[in-house]
Amino acid sequence: MKIGIIGAGDVGGTLGKIWRQRNHEVMFGVRNLQSQNVQTLAQMDKSLRFGDINEAVAFGDVILFAIPWTSVEETVHRSGNLSGKIVIDPTNPLTPDLKQLALKDTSVAERIADLAKGAKVVKAFNTIGAKTLNNLIFGSERADLFICGDDTLSKRVVGELATDIGFDVVDVGSLANARMLENLALLWIELALRQQLGPNIAFKLLRRKAEF
pLDDT at res. 212: 60
Which of 53, 80, 74, 175 shows the shortest CA–CA distance to 124?
Answer: 175
The answer to whether residue 74 is domain-embedded is: yes
Report the alpha-carbon distance of residue 82 to residue 62 in Å, rounded.
10
pLDDT in tens, 155-200: 999 999 999 999 999 999 999 999 999 999 999 999 999 999 999 9
Local structure of 76: helix, strand or coil: helix
The answer to whether residue 6 is domain-embedded is: yes
User: Does the pLDDT value for residue 23 go beyond 70?
Assistant: yes
The answer to whether residue 8 is domain-embedded is: yes
Domain holding 7, by residue range, is 2-194
Order across the sheet with 120-123: list the strands: 49-51, 25-29, 2-6, 62-65, 86-89, 120-123, 144-149, 168-171
Find out whether 22 and 164 touch, Cβ atoms under 8 Å.
yes
Q: Please give the tally of structural domains in the chain.
A: 1
**pLDDT-derived band of residue 33, with 50, 70 and 90 as boundaries?**
confident
The answer to whether residue 72 is domain-embedded is: yes
Q: For residues 150, 67, 124 and 117, what is the CA-based torsion angle, rounded to 10 degrees? A: 10
**pLDDT-derived band of residue 210, with 50, 70 and 90 as boundaries?**
confident
pLDDT in tens, 132-144: 999 999 999 999 9
- What is the mean pLDDT of the segment spanning 31-48? 89
- What CATH number is given to the structural domain containing 177? 3.40.50.720
The answer to whether residue 206 is domain-embedded is: no
The answer to whether residue 212 is domain-embedded is: no
Which of 110, 171, 116 shows the shortest CA–CA distance to 145?
Answer: 171
The answer to whether residue 201 is domain-embedded is: no
The answer to whether residue 202 is domain-embedded is: no
pLDDT in tens, 73-109: 999 999 989 999 999 999 999 999 999 999 999 999 9
- Cα 107 to the center of its chain, rounded Å: 14
Residues in CB range of 46: below 8 A, 6 or more apart: none
